[in-house]
């Protein structure tokens, strides 16, 4: 068996019980897994400092001195072993709470040791608990110790003697046994030479045991490059294969219906960004290959009008379209927007959801199957078996992360001869680095400017003591005929979180806005869908002035008359949520406001989120801050299941490297699409190994 395939338990110092712990805590099963468990930082073991030079802010220190005193105290679980380390400048206490018998045998009074460990303080006096120790004679015989790797650990691992020191020893055993033949190269020689990279063998040895900082840096560069490079190669290759193999309906012309709408009905001039995106879509639709495009645009940037114009291109070429939205409310709003223009053009648009009555449903399905219906808008009801199209040519999904891949596949399968063209819309701006890894196999279009005349939403941060001013402001806005959202993070009381809850907030608002002079709606996730729709409908029809809600309104409410968004306990919301909620206002011609209410005690991250919201309305800027604060794995709606976890690269810190790597991957694929050149044989083999036999869902985005 190959050494890297061997079970971890056979390495000296591991054994069955520790191996089980490494599996559970870190997912390390085999030697290969151990080798790929990289250190996250290093400590310099080349420097020994005098005890007198220890600084209070030092994290780890390395000292040389003699043991001048050993003292045992306590009994049972409270047993302690203390020793005094003394050099020419002073003394420092060493302390042990476990493994006392072993330590007792190790310590010799009068013997000189090199001691390394994390500095702690007890009653203002520095000490080191459970230091790493070896005799000065042994230390000197090894020469320069260089940098010592520090690995991610857990309390359980540390308690079982698998801290960084033990892991370094285990790793050293493995490195001593591995040869260059065990770690064959995974990159072509021309890339290694051009990019001045270490070989894979050099990098994997150096990252665990670097001689100096420059070597550690070079090792990390090589391993990050390889990780990002193969992710990009796989995504770009998948995209290329889809374009080559996935034939699409060719929308050869821009016809009379599109031109009539664009020249005579469209009520405003498109922005430059909207025109650019339409050109990209037009090019895809005319190519004869399936379009698979992600349309990113901030709240209010005009994605819907772009999707409408795309549908008209399909109509002009004799094809039907569908638009699937995650909620009935959002689907209904799309339907109302499209119907207004479709009626003017003499076109048929239908609506389908679980709430459509049986008689109406039969009529909708009949129009769809006969081709009388040009567009159907709905919820996941569109994927059900009875829904049959005469000739589906375009499928649009709004907020695609709310649908599973298999759900979308069922929808695309309803097209006859080819897969339909796919347009995916999202109002959650995705940082460029995340888009390049999570959505790298889609073509990405970005609407990065707002329509002219839109007034930026003013965002203000207010504390509880300023509530009277906020209430007065709400009264003023209602007098002007405006409407207000008030959003809470909870539905009912939680013992853990000292938050205003929805029902208490509603009752409190009734004291400031009594009936019958004022009317309020209340909406939350535990209501029946029909009750929720009634309440939302009342607000949309201006029958209520205030909508008290949870984040259920984050997506899918369009009330141009609503000018104020008040978010209670704003510190409890993520940045993308705050931005989405703010996007519910600012949809009309009037100045709109977002008021972030919070307590006084705010964490550093909460302050940063609130400050970001108050300083910018740019969703892409906000998404970048969100990525920096939360990390890529937690950004709502951008990480699809099955996305590649990164072992060493960091999407926040390595954005420039990712762009560089993607450009190299693009260049290689453009010159050698099949990777058939001899120099690229290693790339072809690696891609086949890394992508495996996974089901190819790429064609459905």
Mean pLDDT for each consecutive 10-residue tract of the chain (701 residues)? 89 91 93 94 86 82 92 83 92 86 84 90 83 86 77 85 86 92 95 96 95 93 95 87 78 92 91 95 91 84 92 96 87 89 95 91 95 94 89 87 65 80 83 70 81 85 94 96 91 51 88 93 82 86 92 70 94 88 85 94 93 90 84 49 68 87 94 93 91 46 39
Do strands 60-73 and 112-122 pair parallel, antiparallel, or not at all (unpaired)? Answer: antiparallel
Residue owning tokens 């379209």? 321
Residue owning tokens 């892409």? 620
* Torsion of Cα atoms, 23 then 646 then 398 then 596, to 10°: 90
Q: Tell me, what CATH number does 442's domain have?
A: 3.40.50.300
User: CA-CA distance, 95 to 99, in Å (whole number)?
Assistant: 11
211 and 343 share one domain: no
495 and 605 share one domain: yes
The answer to whether position 606 is within a domain reads yes
Q: Could you tell me if 566 and 499 are in contact, meaning their C-beta atoms sit under 8 angstroms apart? A: no
Question: Measuring CA to CA, which residue among 514, 509, 519, 564 is closest to residue 542?
Answer: 519
- pLDDT tens-digit profile of 447-464? 888 777 778 899 999 999
Q: Is the peptide bond before 119 cis (omega within 30 degrees of 0)?
A: no
Q: Tell me, what CATH number does 119's domain have?
A: 2.40.50.140
480 and 410 share one domain: no
265 and 229 share one domain: no
Q: Could you tell me if 303 and 447 are in contact, meaning their C-beta atoms sit under 8 angstroms apart? A: yes
User: CA-CA distance, 144 to 381, in Å (whole number)?
Assistant: 68
Range of the domain at 376: 256-447
526 and 443 share one domain: no
Task: Collect all residues with Cβ–Cβ distance below 8 Å to 540 and sequence separation of at least 6.
Answer: 557, 558, 559
Q: Could you tell me if 411 and 322 are in contact, meaning their C-beta atoms sit under 8 angstroms apart? A: yes
Question: Tell me, what's the pLDDT at 700?
Answer: 40
204 and 86 share one domain: no
Cβ burial, residue 603 (10 Å; 0-12/13-18/19+)? exposed
336 and 385 share one domain: yes
Domain count for the chain, please give it: 4
Question: Tell me, what's the pLDDT at 189?
Answer: 96
Residue at a domain's end among 582, 599, 616: 616
293 and 422 share one domain: yes
Residue owning tokens 């230390």? 139
Bridge partner list, 129:
95
The answer to whether position 216 is within a domain reads yes
Residue at a domain's end among 143, 166, 194: 143
Which phi and psi angles does 199 have, rounded to 5°? -70, 165
- 499 token code pair: 């938050």
Question: Tell me, what's the pLDDT at 125?
Answer: 80
Question: Tell me, what's the pLDDT at 85?
Answer: 94
Question: Measuring CA to CA, which residue among 420, 364, 409 is closest to residue 387?
Answer: 364
User: CA-CA distance, 420 to 251, in Å (whole number)?
Assistant: 11
The answer to whether position 308 is within a domain reads yes
Q: Could you tell me if 73 and 80 are in contact, meaning their C-beta atoms sit under 8 angstroms apart? A: yes
- pLDDT tens-digit profile of 643-699? 457 889 988 788 889 989 999 999 999 999 999 999 999 999 999 888 764 434 334
Q: Could you tell me if 178 and 3 are in contact, meaning their C-beta atoms sit under 8 angstroms apart? A: yes
62 and 193 share one domain: no
- pTM confidence score: 0.71
Question: Measuring CA to CA, which residue among 493, 610, 483 is closest to residue 548?
Answer: 483
The answer to whether position 637 is within a domain reads no
The answer to whether position 132 is within a domain reads yes
Task: Collect all residues with Cβ–Cβ distance below 8 Å to 383 and sequence separation of at least 6.
Answer: 324, 407, 410, 411
User: CA-CA distance, 520 to 149, in Å (whole number)?
Assistant: 60
- 67 token code pair: 């043991």
The answer to whether position 67 is within a domain reads yes
Question: Measuring CA to CA, which residue among 116, 127, 133, 121 is closest to residue 82?
Answer: 127
- 529 token code pair: 């869908």
Residue at a domain's end among 210, 245, 280: 245
Q: In angstroms, what CA-CA distances link 524 with 1, 18, 405, 580? A: 58, 48, 27, 17
Q: Could you tell me if 518 and 546 are in contact, meaning their C-beta atoms sit under 8 angstroms apart? A: yes
């Amino acid at each position: 068996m190959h050494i890297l395939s061997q079970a971890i338990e056979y390495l000296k110092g591991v054994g069955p019980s520790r191996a089980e712990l490494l599996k559970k805590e870190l997912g390390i099963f085999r030697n290969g897994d151990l080798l790929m468990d990289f250190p996250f930082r290093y400590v310099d073991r080349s420097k020994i400092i005098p005890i007198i030079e220890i600084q209070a802010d030092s994290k780890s220190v390395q000292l040389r001195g003699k043991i001048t005193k050993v003292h045992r105290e306590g009994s049972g679980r409270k047993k302690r072993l203390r020793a005094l380390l003394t050099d020419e400048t002073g003394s420092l206490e060493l302390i042990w709470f476990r493994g006392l018998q072993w330590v007792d045998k190790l310590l010799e009074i009068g013997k000189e040791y090199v001691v390394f460990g994390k500095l702690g303080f007890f009653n203002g006096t520095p000490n080191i608990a459970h230091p790493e120790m070896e005799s000065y004679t042994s230390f000197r015989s090894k020469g320069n110790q260089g940098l010592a790797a520090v690995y991610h650990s857990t309390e359980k691992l540390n308690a079982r003697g698998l801290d960084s020191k033990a892991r370094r020893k285990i790793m050293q055993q493995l490195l001593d046994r591995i040869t260059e033949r065990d770690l064959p190269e995974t990159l072509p020689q021309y890339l290694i030479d051009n990019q001045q990279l270490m070989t894979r063998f050099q990098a994997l040895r150096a990252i665990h045991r670097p001689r100096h900082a420059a070597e550690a840096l070079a090792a990390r560069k090589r391993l990050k490059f390889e990780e990002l490079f193969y992710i990009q190669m796989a995504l770009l290759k998948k995209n290329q294969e889809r374009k080559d193999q996935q034939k699409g309906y060719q929308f050869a012309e821009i016809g009379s219906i599109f031109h009539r709408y664009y020249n005579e009905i469209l009520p405003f001039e498109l922005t430059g960004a909207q025109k650019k995106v339409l050109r990209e879509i037009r090019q895809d639709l005319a190519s004869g290959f399936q379009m698979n495009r992600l349309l990113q645009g901030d709240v209010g940037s005009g994605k819907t009008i772009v999707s409408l114009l795309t549908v008209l291109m399909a109509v002009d070429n004799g094809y039907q379209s569908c638009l699937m939205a995650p909620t009935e409310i959002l689907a209904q709003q799309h339907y109302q927007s499209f119907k207004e223009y479709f009626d003017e053009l003499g076109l048929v648009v239908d609506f389908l959801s679980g709430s459509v009555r049986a008689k109406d449903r039969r009529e909708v399905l009949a129009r769809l199957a006969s081709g009388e219906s040009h567009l159907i808008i709905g919820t996941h009801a569109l994927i059900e078996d009875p829904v049959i199209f005469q000739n589906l040519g375009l499928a649009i999904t709004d907020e695609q992360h709310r649908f599973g891949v298999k759900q979308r596949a069922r929808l695309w399968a309803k097209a006859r001869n080819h897969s339909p063209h796919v347009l995916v819309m999202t109002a959650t701006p995705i940082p460029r680095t995340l888009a390049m890894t999570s959505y790298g196999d889609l073509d990405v279009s970005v609407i990065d400017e707002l329509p002219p005349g839109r007034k930026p939403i003013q965002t203000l941060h207010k504390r509880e003591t300023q509530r009277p001013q906020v209430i007065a402001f709400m009264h003023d806005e209602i007098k002007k005929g405006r409407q207000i959202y008030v959003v809470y993070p909870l539905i009912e009381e939680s013992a853990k979180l000292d938050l205003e809850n929805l029902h208490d907030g509603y009752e409190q608002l009734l004291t400031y806005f009594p009936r019958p002079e004022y009317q309020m709606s209340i909406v939350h996730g535990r209501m029946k869908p029909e009750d929720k729709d009634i309440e939302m409908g009342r607000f949309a029809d201006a029958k209520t002035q205030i909508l008290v809600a949870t984040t259920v309104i984050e997506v899918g409410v369009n009330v141009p008359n609503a000018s104020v968004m008040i978010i209670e306990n704003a510190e409890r919301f993520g940045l993308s949520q705050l931005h989405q909620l703010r996007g519910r206002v600012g949809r009309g011609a009037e100045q709109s406001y977002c008021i972030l209410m919070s307590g006084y005690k705010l964490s550093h991250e909460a302050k940063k989120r609130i400050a970001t919201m108050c300083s910018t309305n740019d969703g892409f800027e906000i998404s970048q801050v969100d990525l920096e604060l939360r990390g890529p794995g937690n950004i709502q709606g951008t990480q699809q299941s099955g996305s590649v976890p990164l072992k060493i690269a960091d999407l926040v810190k390595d954005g420039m490297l990712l762009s560089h790597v993607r450009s190299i991957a693009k260049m290689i694929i453009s010159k050698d699409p099949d990777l058939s050149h001899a120099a690229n044989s290693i790339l072809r083999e690696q891609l086949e190994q890394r992508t495996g036999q996974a089901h190819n869902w790429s064609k459905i985005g």
